[in-house]
Amino acid sequence: MARSLRSWLGGCLLVSALGMVPPPENVRIHSVNFKSILKWEAPAFPKGNLTFTAQYQSYRKFQDLCTRTRGTECDFSHLSKYGDHTLRVRAELADQHSAWVNITFCPVADTVIGPPGIHMEALADSLHIRFLAPRIEKEHESWTMANIYNSWVYNMQYWKNGSDEKHPVTCQYDVEVLRNLQPWTTYCVEVQMFVPELNKSGEWSEPVCAQTVSDDSAPSWVVVVVVLGSSVGTCLLLTGCLALLWCIYKRTKYTVSPGNALPQHLKEE
């Protein structure tokens, strides 16, 4: 509240004393998986509704991207993912405008790496896990963050469901197998991408949990259920077959018998 009041008073003083339009405030870039949005806040200004123009530097010349917008953000996702970019924004009112506010943005270093996807399957006393690298915004669906960085790994943690003890694992590939786990136990897994050359960690995924099974033969109660189910199914199938054969027999007898009867004169002889 106090900060907003100071900002408003400062804007009033600038306008009254110098006739200046105050610049945008809190200018920053929000970038996740290379979806890069320049954001800012409108300054306090008593004379009317401001508009904003945002630009980026291309070959030493600034290019307009968002012009006289009333919004407070502009999408810069189309920029090259490599190298430094200078972005800037200013406030405008009619033929007056504020000073530019500049920021420098390097997408490959500054963008946030989103959480990977996880596919997990329980087999015997192990978990087979497949990682899916985050997709890049506004690119072909086959392009992921793994296509951008030269070297990267997956940092994974797994734990028994309900336990606070987490076991870290560094995974070099998209597939990992956790072996020698306790049977009939639920384990949870979470993972993030990590780029060693930039010391850059991505966001952690949501935990995914699965229950292991036994590496021995099926438990006795499972065998009993399977045998009983098979027996009942066999009995029902046989009963159905017998009923069908009986119906066919009755229909055949009713249809054929009258036509096979002996002539009357033969019966008399």
CATH number for the domain harbouring residue 123: 2.60.40.10
Question: Among 71-85, 232-246, 251-265, which is the least confidently predicted range?
Answer: 251-265
Tell me the pLDDT tens digit for each residue of 100-128: 999 999 999 999 999 999 999 998 789 99
Average predicted confidence (pLDDT) for the chain: 84
Which residues lie closer than 8 Å to 223 by C-beta, 6 or more apart?
A: 217
**φ, ψ for residue 63 (rounded to 5)?**
-115, 135
pLDDT at residue 48 in the model = 76
Cα separation, 172 vs 258, in Å, equals 83
Answer yes or no: do 129 and 198 share one domain: yes
Identify the CA nearest to 10 among candidates 103, 101, 100, 98: 98
Answer yes or no: do 23 and 76 share one domain: yes
Q: What is the pTM of this model?
A: 0.70
In a domain, 11, yes or no: no
Residue 64 has pLDDT above 80, yes or no: yes
Answer yes or no: do 128 and 199 share one domain: yes
Confidence grade of residue 14 (pLDDT, cut at 50, 70, 90): very low
pLDDT at residue 18 in the model = 46
What is the total residue count of the chain? 269
In a domain, 256, yes or no: no
Residue 207 has pLDDT above 50, yes or no: yes
The kind and range of the H/E element at 159 are strand 153-160
Residues 185-203 have a mean pLDDT of: 97
Q: Long-range contact list for 98-103, CB < 8 A, 24+ apart?
A: 98/20, 98/21, 98/22, 98/23, 98/24, 98/43, 99/23, 100/23, 101/23, 101/24, 101/27, 101/40, 103/27, 103/28, 103/29, 103/38
Answer yes or no: do 68 and 154 share one domain: no
pLDDT at residue 222 in the model = 46
In a domain, 138, yes or no: yes
Answer yes or no: do 129 and 145 share one domain: yes
In a domain, 51, yes or no: yes
Which of 60, 91, 110 delimits the end of a domain? 110
Which of 46, 77, 110 delimits the end of a domain? 110
Answer yes or no: do 51 and 73 share one domain: yes
In a domain, 226, yes or no: no
pLDDT at residue 238 in the model = 77
**Domain enclosing residue 63, as ranges:** 19-110
What's the structural domain count of the chain? 2
Answer yes or no: do 208 and 124 share one domain: yes
Residue 23 has pLDDT above 80, yes or no: yes
Answer yes or no: do 202 and 134 share one domain: yes
Which of 110, 130, 149 delimits the end of a domain? 110
pLDDT at residue 257 in the model = 52
